[in-house]
Structure formats: C-alpha cells, structure tokens
Amino acid sequence: MSDSNLPDNNTESFRLQHYLAKCGIGSRRTNEQYILDGRVKVNGQIVNTLGTKVNSDDKVEFDGNPVKFEENLRYILLNKPTGYVCSLADEKGRMVAADILKPHYSERLYNVGRLDMFSSGLIIFTNDGDFTKKILHPSAQIEKEYVVETSTNIPEELVKKFKKGMRIEGVFYKCQDAQLLNTRKIRIVLIEGKNREIRKVFDEYRLGIKSLQRVRIGNIEIGELKDGEFRELSNKEVKQLLEIGEASGNSN
C-alpha cells in the first residue's frame, strides 16, 4: 500500500516532532526524544525545544542529513526470523530486522513495536508516524497473538494464573486469553504486552521456551508468510487495523 504524504499547502506549519514523523524518521514520541537529544537542526541550528513549528520552506536535518516529506506511505508486514533485533541499528553488531527490507524499499522504514531477538513472527514496518502513534497508543488495545512451544509440559496453573493476572517482581502481568494446544504448546493473546512479558511468566514456572512466534496483530494473520518473507498491507487491512484501535479507544 502507498499513499501521498505531501502537504496540500506548502506553507502549512507542523510541530517539529510531527514534521519528522511525516518525513519517516520515527513516531512522534521517538522524535521528541531525538529533539531533546540535540539530533535535529532547523535552518542550521540545533533545536531541542518541543513544539517548535516548521514548514516545508525550512531546512530540517536529522543526524546531519536533510529530511523531507515521504511521498509514499508504506506499511510492510514482515515475518521476522529469530536472531534479528528490532532496531534501526545495533551497537553490538547483531542482525537488524529492518535490513531485510532495505534492498527492496528506498523509504526509511521503522518497526511498529518490537519482538525480542529470540522471538519470531509478525511485525509491521512503516514510514507513517501518525499510523505508528495510533497503533501503539495504550488506548488502542490491539490484540497480538502468540504461539509458544516449551521443552517441558505446561502446567494448567500457569494458564489459569496468567488469564487471571499475576505479579512477578512487582510487575502485574495478565493475558487477554490463553489456551493449551497440547501439553507443550500454548496460544496466548496479549493486549498491553509489557517487555518480555511471556518469557518472564514462563521463567517464573521454570519453563524453557523452544520457540515463541507472533502469529497475529489485530486483524492481520501470518498466513503463508515464511521466515524472512514480507508483504505490503492492503488499504483495507490498514484501515481495519486503525478502526480496531479507534473502537477500543472510544470504548475506554
């Protein structure tokens, strides 16, 4: 899917973090941190004040490179293999999921949410900061479904407690749903998805995870995508995903 992202009026002004989002640099929240870190210049001057207004006549730079509005918005669904990190770059030299897409797209794409290095499955890449903000907003309540396979049997107690809610080292974890597929395989649906939530719950029960795969994000399922394969989301899929998030937000 692609769509025009150019402003209708060249003199239209935007908050700097919003402008950067429309240039495909990152989500608004991420861009706010970039601004605070002094990585953004406007007309040759470092700007670290949030809310600064700019328009298309201003020269905006990120890390010394000029940025401009993305002409086409991209929404890419990747089946991330294990061993890849979800980051634009990695200081440890590990493989980066975004690099799988770089040979195929000229736009600067970044991941919407994360999967840890040892997990596989669905993750969306985009250059649409507004889309990212809406999808990641806590009120969106978009379901993410995982299939987990363990090296030993999964106790029924884990399923019951995870669905009811449990506290580990002061953090409360609760899944939307959990269902045993067999003695060593389970389907888990999360909404909030705290950092490494599934792994921490399974560690509490001393369960070794053989594989952890995300198989669904909202209305989008993994289908026939193999490890490392990707496809563009359709207009309908993007619209439905946003509608799910908006409906959840309105119901809260």
Is the CB of residue 122 less than 8 Å from the CB of residue 241? no
Residue 128 annotated in active site: no
Greatest Cα pair distance in the chain:
62
Residues in the chain: 252
Cα distances from 212 to residues 10, 114, 115, 124, 187, in angstroms, run 47, 13, 10, 17, 10
Enter the DSSP assignment of 51: T
Q: Choose the catalytic residue: 116, 130, 177, 227.
A: 116
**Alpha-carbon gap, residue 106 to 153, rounded angstroms:** 46
- DSSP H/E element including 135: helix 129-136
Cα distances from 140 to residues 66, 70, 131, 241, 252, in angstroms, run 33, 25, 11, 10, 9
Interior angle at CA 193, CA 187 and CA 195, nearest 5: 115
The residues annotated as belonging to the active site are: 116
